[in-house]
Structure 1
Amino acid sequence: MPRFVPFLLVAWVMGALAPLASGQDVRARDLGIPFEGVPGPLNAITDVPGVEVGHATIIEGDGPLVKGEGPVRTGVTALLPRGRAFDPVFAATYALNGNGEMTGVHWIEESGYLETPITITNTFSVGVVRDAVIAWMDSTGLNADPEGGLWYTYPLVAETYDVLNDILGQHVTRAHAFEALDAAAGGPVAEGNVGGGTGMIAHQFKGGIGTASRLTGSGHTLGVLVQANYGGRARFTVAGVPVGREIPDLMPNYDVLARGSIIVVVATDAPLLPPQLQRLAERVPLAIGRLGGLGSNGSGDIFVAFSTGNPGAWAARPTATLDVLPNDEMDGLFEATVEATEEAILNAMVAAETMTGRDSLTAHALPHDRL
């Protein structure tokens, strides 16, 4: 597909897509951006059967920062790989730059399985969310031993740093983590200033949560969810166009450096083993680079990929018979990973609205008309 669209075609596309349903959020492709690939019905990570997503969003107070009181601009996003079923999935992780946190990765690397929900929050709330996930799994019976209590696991909790928030106030509580986990459901996924992405900034515009999906030639679905809080303005590029240089204004009224972090979750129903999922996670940086990200020294660019194929593989028994997609069929999934990650990041930025946080720090929305 060409990397530009003539004006009349853009106008026709926008006209064909309007009017949007009442209350429906505008997404990046609604603006006529020429994305590659074929999205799933929802163009969301929940197009992968069984995957559920929920958010808890905390927005409280205005004005000068009073540590412990606010203003608060933060939250929690939760993802359940198989919904309310305890059935660990094959998984792998990868870091482009590791100035960040994703708990539980050592056991994923050792065992090849993800046994818990995935939760994403702010940098200083990882601990409370991790503990809450254990309590939630115990209270719901979503664990390996719901009756006897002889069970342990290592939750996967990831973070980015929300500059707009009273982050040292540590306003995220166990109740907020439970709220996000309890809210997890299939269907459309809220984007922008929600959940863990509430106070985030991307390419010095307002950032946050975004998602997208792709259908592959092998007949499988791949979905991506991001928490975007990274990148400078000057390098920001969309479909080959130097958007960051064309929109040099609307900068945050604060010294937000061209750093930060991005968490990316890749899900697929293709039956992949952990080394193949590692290869998917390693393709995520190609999308970040297409948009102008560098994986700077101060950035935590950490990714996890999992497969919902091979249900029941984790269960204890002498042997397990597995389906495996041949490596010769991986190129379509590599392409889908790059395409869906790129669109998910832009969906986060297009959905995000201008937000003012602590000390009147303002992150402006990416202007749709100028984009």
Structure 2
Amino acid sequence: MPESGHRIRTGELPHGRRNSIADVSGVTVGHATVDRGDVHTGVTVVVPCEGPVIARRPVAAAHVLNGFGKTCGLVQVGELGCIETPIALTNTLCVGRVADGLVTNALREASSAGLPLPSTINPVVGETNDGRVSDIRARAVGESDVLAAIDSASADFARGSVGAGRGTVCFGLKGGIGSSSRLAGIGEKSYALGVLVQSNFGRMTDLVLGGKPVGSRIAEELAAPEAPERGSIMVVVATDAPLSSRQLGRVIRRATVGLVRCGSYMGHGSGDVFIGFTTANSMGSPVGSDGCLELRCLPEDRLDPLFRACAEATEEAVLDSLLAAEPMRGLDGTLYRSLGEFL
């Protein structure tokens, strides 16, 4: 699926070459889209590194802003501060099926690498409800789709109405998968921070673009009836900055700023969940002769550029998802337009 030709630049920090989460070296993204009959859904995976993730176990963190969601694996991420599988996004009723696919992938990766087969695996899955566009009760995403998404993962990936974003709706328009990145200068080094979102939240009249309340104008143009805030958003953050799990938690919480800038107020029915990881620290690193892992982290007073990077990249990733998405009709006949039609 082609990417949108539109981009809306937000904030003041520079972005990476791809302006996506793949500007963090080693990170790739893959999709599997399921389109048949009334089913328009899929799965998107963020692969954090090359080789078996369960062996490397990148340092990670998670934050739940509003917990109306059905994620998998966040309890252990919070407890141990790392991830053991790619991060998968899908629809609400397919979380279990996608988690099973991640387990299968972890076993096949360990086997291919000649590693002992693990007896415990923590699959990480996020979701939003795409039931307005897709027959969600069909539970159409399965293990083969997860494996296909992982096998197709690339640094150059489609955005918009693809994979887990195939059936999503955002601010009353067609939502989807969006991504953006920022480069944060700290001292003499520049660190990359990238964000990928699965957007499925917000009311049309609340949409803000570049500080301007454009949603009301679009709603008036479409004569759209006032609708309650519905849906959720998943935010995946990657960085190559050396951070501890606790510090990473501080950084990913700034995704909230990006959502607010877009006009979200995190309504009752919105699951707003953030998952982040760093490629600079690994819980699978060799243990030194003193029995300790060697992990590095920035001083606390140097994190401000990463806070800004997360806020700016989240805002732009949401707008990217709206611009890249193609119009689609919902199951009730409602046409969900693309933001690009109004620019």
Match of 2:6 among 20, 24, 27: 27
The offset of 1:281, in angstroms, is 1.6
- The 1:117/1:313 distance shift into structure 2, 3 A limit, reads same
Matched, 1:37 2:25: no
Matched, 1:80 2:47: yes
Unaligned runs of 5+ in 1: 1-22, 62-70
- The 1:171/1:361 distance shift into structure 2, 3 A limit, reads farther
The separation in 2 between residues aligned to 1:316 and 1:250, in whole angstroms, is: 62
Matched, 1:296 2:264: no
User: What SS does structure 2 have at the residue aligned with 1:175?
Assistant: helix
Unaligned runs of 5+ in 2: none
The separation in 1 between residues aligned to 2:328 and 2:151, in whole angstroms, is: 26
Deviation by residue 1:187-237 (Cα, 9 ceiling, x = unmatched): x22111000010000000000100000011121000000000000011111
The offset of 1:52, in angstroms, is 0.9
- The 1:96/1:311 distance shift into structure 2, 3 A limit, reads closer
The offset of 1:314, in angstroms, is 4.5
CA contact (8 A) 1:44 1:189 kept: no
The separation in 2 between residues aligned to 1:146 and 1:306, in whole angstroms, is: 25
Match of 1:248 among 219, 222, 239: 219
- The 1:360/1:98 distance shift into structure 2, 3 A limit, reads same
TM-score scaled by length of structure 2: 0.92
User: What SS does structure 2 have at the residue aligned with 1:157?
Assistant: strand
The separation in 2 between residues aligned to 1:249 and 1:132, in whole angstroms, is: 44
User: What SS does structure 1 have at the residue aligned with 2:219?
Assistant: coil
Aligned partner letter, 1:344: A
The separation in 2 between residues aligned to 1:254 and 1:60, in whole angstroms, is: 29
The separation in 2 between residues aligned to 1:192 and 1:118, in whole angstroms, is: 18
Aligned partner letter, 2:273: I
CA contact (8 A) 1:91 1:108 kept: yes
Match of 1:332 among 305, 309, 324: 305
Match of 1:169 in 2: 138
Match of 1:55 in 2: 31
Aligned partner letter, 2:45: A
Matched, 1:151 2:119: yes
Deviation by residue 1:69-126 (Cα, 9 ceiling, x = unmatched): xx11100000111133431111111111000022111111111111111000000000
Please list, as runs of the form range in 1=range in 2, the aligned pairs for 1:12-23 lying within 5 A after superposition: none
User: What SS does structure 2 have at the residue aligned with 1:360?
Assistant: coil
Please list, as runs of the form range in 1=range in 2, the aligned pairs for 1:197-208 lying within 5 A after superposition: 197-208=165-176
Matched, 1:138 2:107: yes
CA contact (8 A) 2:3 2:159 kept: no
The separation in 2 between residues aligned to 1:315 and 1:253, in whole angstroms, is: 58
The separation in 1 between residues aligned to 2:36 and 2:225, in whole angstroms, is: 20
The offset of 1:265, in angstroms, is 0.5
TM-score scaled by length of structure 1: 0.85
CA contact (8 A) 1:251 1:363 kept: no
Question: CA-atom RMSD, angstroms?
Answer: 2.1
Aligned partner letter, 2:48: P
The separation in 2 between residues aligned to 1:173 and 1:294, in whole angstroms, is: 33
Please list, as runs of the form range in 1=range in 2, the aligned pairs for 1:187-266 lying within 5 A after superposition: 188-218=156-186, 219-249=190-220, 257-266=228-237
The separation in 2 between residues aligned to 1:252 and 1:140, in whole angstroms, is: 52
The offset of 1:293, in angstroms, is 0.3
Deviation by residue 1:299-325 (Cα, 9 ceiling, x = unmatched): 100001111103465445611222211
Aligned partner letter, 2:98: V
CA contact (8 A) 1:252 1:362 kept: no
The offset of 1:252, in angstroms, is 10
- The 1:142/1:110 distance shift into structure 2, 3 A limit, reads farther
- The 1:200/1:342 distance shift into structure 2, 3 A limit, reads same
CA contact (8 A) 1:229 1:260 kept: yes
CA contact (8 A) 2:107 2:118 kept: no
Matched, 1:115 2:84: yes
The separation in 2 between residues aligned to 1:200 and 1:250, in whole angstroms, is: 22
The offset of 1:146, in angstroms, is 5.0
Match of 1:8 in 2: none
Aligned partner letter, 1:320: L
The offset of 1:150, in angstroms, is 4.0
Aligned partner letter, 2:41: T
Match of 1:323 among 289, 296, 299: 296
- The 1:314/1:248 distance shift into structure 2, 3 A limit, reads same
CA contact (8 A) 2:106 2:121 kept: no
User: What SS does structure 2 have at the residue aligned with 1:213?
Assistant: strand
Match of 1:343 in 2: 316
Aligned partner letter, 2:22: T
Matched, 1:94 2:63: yes
- The 1:57/1:255 distance shift into structure 2, 3 A limit, reads farther
Equivalenced residues, count? 334
